[in-house]
Structure 1
Amino acid sequence: MKQNKNKLAFIVSTAFLAAPASAVSLINYEPTGTKLDFVGSARLQWKTEAVKKTEYDDGKVDSITKEAKNHPIQNNGSRFGFKLNQSLGNDLYGLGRVEWRFRGKDNRGNRTPSNHDFDHLYARQLYAGVGHNKYGELTYGNQTVITDEVKQTDLANTLSLSDGLLTSGMRRSIQYAYRNKDQGIKAGVYYSGGSKRDNNGLTFLDDDDSIQELKDAWGTGAVKTFKIDDKQEFILSGGVTRERFTQRNNAPDRTETAYAVGTAYTYDNTTIGLDVERGIYKNHEEAGRKITENEIRSVIYQKLTSNWRAYGMYAYKTQKRDEVGESSARKKKKHQFMLGTEYYLIPKSKPFSVKTFAEVQANRTKSYRRGDLREKEREYITVVGLRAYW
């Protein structure tokens, strides 16, 4: 336990003490075109949860259970790393990035008993490549992929309802990305030959904790920004991802395919966004089983002052599971609501910024089996967070 406390103290002190000393730019040597930046953020949260479950049998209430949790202050995705950019001449450049993140789970997803979630350190991003000022970038490694930018309702804080169905990051992947700020275009495509770990560095496991392996994956996405005038802009985006997993006992490959379109409109200090996504998962754990998920998500984001924002989200999500020879064997319907606000204690226009935020979320879920209501769940979550960026 003492070692864990020392680790927690180290990352927090590193974030808050190193950043003010101009730690963002470590090297910026113009004669050779070399630039090395130290990047990252320290993220802490305090969270409370309350859950009420009502189970039904033959249309009547069978049991009611309630549970409330008050979590200690925890890590909320703290990270640090380095970004390198090297000019190669003739508008060419080399680039690379490494980013480590802290988590409270081991490689198999088992949570350690420390509660602070600074127990394990893993490489979230580790990639390198070449780029051209006009024609885009080609990179290889563990990286955030272009389809992560398709979402138009995602928020940077904890209780965002927009994790989404598209793949956001991929290990051992090769990606081509093209960005043109003048034309408002972002587009790209990626491919991965497979991995035994997911984007969070966790081993792929099935429902019986047996190791699975990603066989291959690909995806593509595009985002177009239409600048209307100095106060207005409109964004339209779309993307698709597909993953194949090997399964035990010579079962057919499990495939996960997701489609998404998004749009956002900004007028002055107000932004509204909408995402529509669909995921289809075939041969899930056994041949012939199919799971279909649909999500509709919306957001409104209001800038109140230069340092203060308020926002709200609503999402409607469904899941349908078809067994072999039986359509709609299980269904879930979920309504989600979230309200939040954030305030920058140190403005983000400076190299080092600090913000605090508070969010509340309410979830309503109904589960059906063969058309009969089996369970209702109500969940309430409150989070207060503090983040320092450099």
Structure 2
Amino acid sequence: MSPNPGTAGAPPTDPAPTPVRSLAPDLARGFMLVFIALVNAQFFLVGPDPVRTFGDQAVAVVQLTLVNARAVPLFAFLFGYGAVRIMGRVRAGGGGWIHVRRLLRRRGWVMLAIGAVHGVLLLPVDIVGAYGLALLLFVGLTRARDAVLLWTAGLLAAGATALNTALTVALAGAGGETSIAAPSLTEAGFLAASAERFREWLLYTPVTMLTVAMPMIALGVWAARRRILEEPGAHRPLLVRTAVIGLGAAVAAGLPSALVYAELVPAGAPLPQALLELLHDAVGWFGGLGWAALFALLAARWEGRRAGGGPSAGYGPAVSAVAAVGQRSLTCYLAQSVVFTLVFAPYGAGLGATLGVAGAAAVAVATWLATVVLAEVLRRAGRRGPAEAVLRRLTYAGSTHAPSP
């Protein structure tokens, strides 16, 4: 966090640790996982026509406008935000930058390893490895000046848009597909699919890190210094503007592509589908920021109700359960992939070849609801998710700066 708002380019000071766990980051991660589930379930669809009914069309329009290319940027923003919170806890425990860097890099290696296993066995479009790689290569951004963070986010976003545009134009001109194919989805055997997934993961991980995640990770670091999610009430005007502009841009730029995909508007009218998809993806960062701001505003409202109800008041069972998912997001994310592999893969139930968009969305929402129940059971038992326990144990092994249980 900058010493004061008037010195945006000054060296940052570390944020003070939050005495009480804030609702907004957990709430955002918990809701975000239903978005991730929708995106990944649709990824598994390999049938010739996933849009066959009015239900498919309705779900496709909503999902492609508000969810696809918006979920991963939201998660990346929260990841950058969380890295600064880890830094604050290490500082509060007496550690310096050397300890912070060592801890974050170790966390990056562990996440990269978890992502590799996840990508090879279950889902090549893995985000855990991409975020781990980001920590390893760009850990210095957690202490960079605000100006460096904002320039990094802007330049990477501009570079990613330019690269995607060039690739789309080149592929469209050559008459090829403009989307990344995933041959592993149609492999009949698990071992053959795993070999394909390994190659896909090696490509997807660095590409996702640079072209999707890094701009939002940098902005998450910037926001964490100002405690925007921990103190949403103090930043309400900024959050309202961000929610309105971000989600408004996501809808305006995403709707044309969604209407074409849902076969409600003819392809090529008035713009080629490839250009519409570029426009859809280019505003994904705005959509991610808009969702983060909206969740922060909702958290502020619920926290206000809780404060007004006295020390014994809670957020309500539904909000607490979704926040519990956010606290165990890695476990719930991996659990989703297990379910989707069993349901959609050819060597599972094989429904990826027969279900439409609406059917895949139903599986995604049902899976997310199951993880909500799982997370709530773990919360009431006072236990972390098993994946979080492994990540924590390997990250803090031998460290004298582990946070209290």
Shared topology, TM-score over 0.5? no
CA radius of gyration, larger in: 1
Higher helix share: 2
Query: Larger relative CO (CA 8 A, sep 6+): 1 or 2?
Result: 2
TM range (shorter): under 0.3
User: What's the TM-score once normalised by structure 2's chain length?
Assistant: 0.26
